[in-house]
Amino acid sequence: MFTMCRYPALWHSMIDLTLQIQGSDALLPLRDRKLAILRTGWLCQAPYEFGEHVNQAKRAGVTSEEIERITVGSSAPEWDAHDRALLRAVDELHGEAMISDDTWAQLSQRLNDGQLVELTILIGQFVATAYFQNSLRLRLEEGNKGLAAR
């Protein structure tokens, strides 16, 4: 991360957005954010991002079994309808750069318009984060098991 600190204007812009979509002003529930970030990190094969957010997700109550299912995605039968739609939204953005109408309708049953917009921004922000972390080959922090984290 110290590499990014050499470019303070860019770094602060990224951090400002990250704090807004993950801080106390975030619109999405914490569990939804963590599931979306973990699935994004997994799809991007981003060891730093995935490992860091596994630790955070566990502190937020996401179980090891759920984290293991995130590596399978929305097709894992144990997900409820909302979690399945949330993970499918990540998959669709990753694969087609668009959330399908069916997935959007399913998410709309629990999320309002602001939360839906924030979800797309959150996923995009963590794709960008995965890109620079992977490209800079960030070393894992102590306690971060990378893609092996569960």
Q: What pLDDT score does 121 carry?
A: 96
Segment among 39-48, 64-73, 106-115, 131-140 with least mean pLDDT: 131-140
Other Cβ atoms less than 10 A from the Cβ of 7: the count is: 11
Residue type, 110: R
The Cα 79–Cα 113 span in angstroms is 23
Higher pLDDT, 125 or 18: 125
Q: How confident is the model at residue 4 (pLDDT cuts 50, 70, 90)?
A: low
The pLDDT tens digits for 71-112 are: 999 999 999 999 999 999 999 999 999 999 999 999 999 999
Q: What pLDDT score does 11 carry?
A: 77
* CATH architecture, range 29-148: Up-down Bundle (1.20)
Mean pLDDT score of the chain: 92
Query: What residues does each domain of the chain span?
Result: 29-148
**What is the average per-residue pLDDT within 32-40?**
98
CA-nearest of 63, 130, 59, 64 to 94 is 130
Checking 144-148 for CB contacts under 8 A at 24+ apart, the result is: 144/47, 144/48, 144/51, 144/52, 144/55, 145/51, 145/54, 146/47, 146/48, 146/50, 146/51, 147/42, 147/45, 147/47, 147/50, 147/51, 148/51
**What is the average per-residue pLDDT within 106-124?**
98
Q: What pLDDT score does 15 carry?
A: 80
**pTM of the complete model:** 0.92
Looking at the predicted structure, is the pLDDT value of residue 19 above 90? Answer: no
Q: How confident is the model at residue 36 (pLDDT cuts 50, 70, 90)?
A: very high
